[in-house]
Amino acid sequence: MNDDLTRLPVAPPQPSVRYEMAERLARSVHEGSRTMPADRPMLVCRPKKIESWRGFKIMSEFIEGFDIIRRYGLAASFFGSARASLEDDVYRHASELAARLAKKGFAIITGGSSGVMQAANKGAFEVGGVSVGLNINLPDMQVYNPYLTERFGFDHFFVRKVMLTYASEVYIYFPGGFGTLDEFFEIVTLVQTKKIRKVPILLFGKSYWEPLLSFIEKTLYKERGAIDEADMELYTLVDSVDEAYDYILAHASC
C-alpha cells in the first residue's frame, strides 16, 4: 500500500451525515436522562464496569453547557474563594469591577456560589447586567448565590472546567484556594500549549499573588528551566479596579 495514502486529508462529513450524527447524539442524551439512577454512585478511579448512563449524562452536560455559553458574545469569568474569610476589600473590588464590566456589555460568569463569586455576580446583577453561575453539584449541597440571571449545575468537575475555559474573553483571578489555583493553571497551560487562543489573564491582588509569581520565576524558570521566559507574560498582575478595568478594555475582544 502506498504510504502517501495515509497522509491524505480526511473529508469532513456531508450534511446528511452530520444531521444523522446529531440525531443519534440527541437520542443518546435523552436515553441517558431516562436511565440515570436516582441514587448515583461516585465515579471511582478505576471503575469495574462502564455505566452507560454516566456517559450519556456527561454528553448532556456538555451540550447544555455549550448551549448556555454560546448565548453571550462578550464575557468575563471571575474566580476566587467561596469562603467569607478574605479582607472586605477583596469582595468590594470584585463587585465593583464586575459592575463596570457589565455596564460595558460583558456577561459576568462565575462558579455561581458564595464569596468572590457572589460579589462579582452581585456587581453585575445590581447594574442590570448578565450574571451567570456555572456551579458544581456536591454531596454537601453548594448553594447558588441570589444574584444570577442564569444558572446551571454540573455533576462533573471536568465538564464544568471546560465550560469555564471556553466561556469568556478575559479571566480574572482573585485570592482563593486550591480550586482557584487549579483554574488559573488550567487556563495558563491551555494558552501556553496553544490549545486555546491567547486571552487576558488577570491576577488581582499583589499581596496574594506575588509569592506564587516569585516561585514561578525563581524556581520554575531560573532554577529548573521548566518554563520559558515568555510564559511569564501570559498573565498580568493588577492591584486596583481601575488598573484591571483599563487593561481588560484594551485587550479583551470577541
Q: Which residue has the higher pLDDT, 242 or 24?
A: 242
Query: How far does the chain reach from its first CA to its final CA, in angstroms?
Result: 46
What pLDDT does residue 157 have?
82
Mean pLDDT (the chain) is 85
Q: What is the mean pLDDT of residues 208-237?
A: 98
pLDDT recorded at residue 37: 66
pLDDT at 1 over 60: no
Q: How far apart are CA 77 and CA 166, in angstroms?
A: 10
Task: CATH number for 73-251: choose from 3.40.50.450, 1.10.10.10, 3.30.70.2190, 2.60.40.2220.
Answer: 3.40.50.450
d(CA 92, CA 116): 9
Phi then psi dihedrals of residue 249, to 5 deg: -65, -30
Domain-wise residue ranges, the chain = 19-33+52-70, 73-251
Which of the pair, 33 or 226, is modelled with greater confidence? 226
C-alpha 208, offset from chain centre: 21
CA–CA gap between residue 33 and residue 217 (Å, rounded): 48
Check: pTM over 0.85? Answer yes or no.
no
Cα distance between residue 34 and residue 11, in whole Å: 35
pLDDT at residue number 103: 98
Q: Is the pLDDT of residue 88 over 70?
A: yes
Least confident window among 4-13, 56-65, 77-86: 4-13
> In the numeric block, which cell numbers belong to residue 213?
509569581
Beta bridge partners, 71, equal none
pLDDT higher for 41 or 5?
Answer: 41
Ranking 33-47, 108-122, 150-164, 230-244 by mean pLDDT, the lowest is 33-47
Here the cell at position 237 is 498582575
Between 19 and 108, residue with greater pLDDT = 108
The residue-averaged pLDDT of 4-25 equals: 54
Q: Is the pLDDT of residue 195 over 80?
A: yes
Tens-place pLDDT, residues 111-161: 999 999 999 999 999 999 999 999 988 766 668 999 999 988 888 888 888
Q: Which pLDDT score, from 0 to 100, does residue 28 have?
A: 59
Mean of pLDDT values over 9-32: 59
Indicate left, alpha or beta for 207 from its phi (over 0: left) and psi (-120 to 50: alpha).
alpha
Mean pLDDT across 77-101: 95
